[in-house]
Structure 1
């Protein structure tokens, strides 16, 4: 579902572990694809995880893997030609999936997997914009870490099938 920041904020439950799979369209001329990222909520404490095209952009970066490079809900920075030639007032965000639960839940296990393994992602120093590995490869790798999570990103999430 398409969500605004105010709607997203209402979904945060300080009593639960939550994993949010979010996406936004990629900038023109590649706007037929999407960029995905994961926001985890450890009982209300939010962290955003994603793979980005440039390396080591913040203090919590490991190669192309970044934690909290952008605020949890915000879309990423627009590219030069998008910023100056194809302006839009806001970027649409799509909430693909929410996985949530209490102690011992699938959501808690996924969060533990992310916290333990994201900085050791096997493709941490590789990035391929279109076919991967990219943000969609990373997101699908996280989703595939749990046998209970039967979520497959859509076909326009290019890179989701890249072998990790």
Structure 2
């Protein structure tokens, strides 16, 4: 009986510790989370070449323990800004398309407190040649108005789908890009 009780106490202790760690490490206030640039992007004021970049950062809050959020940034030759494309679930809840695009000089901003990693960067002539194909694929994205956390379509389905449409990108998303398999 005492060994069974000891196992139960240990299991309860591990459970309580896990809850404490999740509560302590999860950022629940998105309004205060950093959205500063990470300093990874090619500066469009200096680099006149065409650029295509894919980024991934830990998903917001507790989801970041398991998954990343991914997005695409495109800068045509001589452009002074990037166009960033990403799929965001809360937009659908507001009656907006999940696929969002915006102009910025800093496409490498922290994703609500999580520093991004650059997954892929293509510059120069190859980027110049691929940007029309990437843009055309983005415009054909079949789930632009949909978002489902799991199994997808979600923020990771989108860049994976673009990568499949433009195999010359040779895109390999991180293992934690949950939902990327929805596009296969």
Which region of structure 1 is more displaced relative to structure 2, 42-51 or 67-76? Answer: 67-76
Task: Pick closer, same or farther for the CA change 1:94–1:56 going to 2, 3 Å.
Answer: same
In structure 2, the CA distance between the partners of 1:131 and 1:11, relative to structure 1 (3 Å rule), is farther
Alpha-carbon distance in structure 2 between the residues aligned to 1:139 and 1:98 = 13
The number of aligned residues is 142
Greater Rg over alpha carbons, structure: 2
Correspondence 1:140 to 2:160: yes
Partner of 1:72: 107
Structure 2 counterpart of 1:115, from 126, 131, 135: 135
Partners of 1:136 and 1:100 lie apart in 2 by 23
The 1:42/1:63 distance shift into structure 2, 3 A limit, reads: same
Provide the secondary structure at the position in 1 that maps to 2:63: coil
| Deviations 1:3-25, CA, capped at 9 Å, x for gaps | x6334345876332111111110
Name the one with the larger strand percent: 1
- Runs of at least 5 residues in structure 1 that lack an aligned partner in the other structure: 79-89
Q: What TM-score, normalized to structure 2? A: 0.65
Deviates more, 1:143-152 or 1:6-15: 6-15
1:65–1:118 contact (8 Å) kept in structure 2? no
1:95 corresponds to: 118
In structure 2, the CA distance between the partners of 1:13 and 1:100, relative to structure 1 (3 Å rule), is farther
Q: Does 1:158 align with 2:178?
A: yes
Stretches of structure 2 that go unaligned for 5 or more consecutive residues are 1-36
Q: Which has the higher helix share?
A: 2
Give 1:23's aligned residue.
56
3-state DSSP class of the match of 1:39? strand
